[in-house]
Structure 1
């Protein structure tokens, strides 16, 4: 019997249930020898399940919806009621599990990008479950430039995990204070994917920052669970900052490839060093265009505007 494809806007229909989504991809998976692809593909879901167990999320481990092995990672849906616990402590525990594995393993080092999202998705026990815009956006977030840059700019020995959280999850769960993940641990970024018409506001969380992330002013996470007032590991990005793509910022910023996220208030001189563009000024803020105080030099040497 042929499948009936609904016509958009022809009539009203029931909204599918909201499902949270968690997905991970392995960094540099395609660069591994072919003989390692199968074992690593099997290993990643096992490490995720191990972290779920250690985070005491046995119920979530056993209640995954439409799980799938993506070859270089895994994705599954789950009841949004678990979202606060996935953000904290599961992500921190997953970071610890990956670090422990990499220290003792003689095989390839496993470093993961993760994305967390939520939205309406079919979940009726039939073929096609879990397919929809929310699923697509979860994978777009996973492939976005900022989260890829996070792993590229950090130490492979210290930072095994970089997480990108959708704005919907951040607004409802993090800023709603339903989770132990403090908002100051997250950095706002514009999530874009090269070659795709995708652009969303999102939030980065790196449980164990290192390398350029530390030099840019991102402090290493505290070992204790939960943050009290004034105990955040990372300063919150300014709400009025709208980073521009393809830039490298130094100073009181975090390098994210797809722009720079300001960490807290910027006072005094702020220096931006890009591919061929230099800014000098104080208290820089920019929105849809360049709003720069001080000198601005763009293009070849001597060209000014």
Structure 2
């Protein structure tokens, strides 16, 4: 049996996508695709992290969003102050879901850059029903709805490094395909049903069998 191989560097992973991108007119989609990196750069600049955009180990468009791999030490700052800054800089009519995760991620410029289970998990989190529902159940004033992986929550929030109240994060079970994990919902500016009924909706009761 062969020996182990070297683990790729741990990266703070940010994945975002634009709500209802597919429902936009074709002529609007190209403009939105170009808008996403400009918005992310602006939010990083507001946080004093503008230089990190050019230092990212991974920075690629997904068409309706973006994937960014940053040095792991920036994880707490992606939660606070980046998420509130993203809420601040988004223009009216553009709303985003975001995932923040951490894990080993390949770097470089080859076709394999950004590979790894951590990236797959980040995309699974972004696709989860609970985070999608946040923007459906809130008003236009809620421009950012985030889901934070359990690992990122423990490492950055419970540790105190994010300097963010753990009570602002709502735990929720996430199941997407074969992926299952407890994750944490974070909404910088909740509105609508998020204020009146909370971030999660109760599971429907099953009838007796």
TM (normalized to structure 2)? 0.94
Question: Following superposition of structure 1 onto structure 2, how do residues 3-82 of structure 1 map, counting pairs within 5 Å?
Answer: 10-82=2-74
1:49-82 CA distance string (max 9 Å, x none): 1111111112322211221100100111010111
Equivalent residue for 1:153? 137
Partner of 2:180: 199
| 2:153 alignment counterpart | 170
Q: Distance in 1 between matches of 2:72 and 2:161?
A: 12
Partners of 2:199 and 2:160 in 1: CA distance: 27
Q: Secondary structure in 2 aligned to 1:62?
A: helix
* 1:97-246 pair list within 5 angstroms: 97-98=89-90, 101-102=91-92, 109-156=93-140, 158-193=141-176, 196-216=177-197
Distance 1:27 1:76 in 2: 18
> Which structure is larger by alpha-carbon Rg, 1 or 2?
1
Q: Secondary structure at the match of 1:119?
A: strand
Q: Distance in 2 between matches of 1:183 and 1:255?
A: 15
Q: Which whole-Å deviations, capped at 9, do the CAs of 1:193-213 have from their partners, x for residues lacking one?
A: 2xx222111000000001111
Partner of 1:5: none
Once the two structures are TM-superposed, the CA of residue 93 in structure 1 deviates from its matched residue by 0.7
Q: Is the 8 A contact 1:147 1:256 kept in 2?
A: no
Aligned residues: 209
1:60-113 superposed Cα distances (whole Å, 9 cap, x missing partner): 222112211001001110101111111101110110111xx21xxxxxx11100
8 Å CA contact retained: 2:39, 2:89: yes
Deviation of the 1:256 alpha carbon: 2.7
Superposed CA deviations along residues 146-182 of structure 1, whole A, max 9, x for unmatched, are 10011100012x1011000000000011000001221
Please give the alpha-carbon distance, in whole angstroms, between the structure 1 residues aligned to 2:31 and 2:13: 24
Match of 2:200 in 1: 256
Taking only aligned residues, the RMSD between alpha carbons, in angstroms, comes to 1.6
Greater RCO (CA < 8 Å, at least 6 residues apart): 2
CA-CA distance at 1:255 after TM superposition = 4.5
- Higher relative helix content: 2
Contact residue 53 and residue 61 of structure 1 kept, 8 A:
no
Gaps of 5+ in 1: 1-8, 103-108, 217-253, 261-273, 278-297
CA distance in 2: counterparts of 1:126 and 1:161, whole angstroms: 31
* TM, length-normalised to structure 1: 0.65
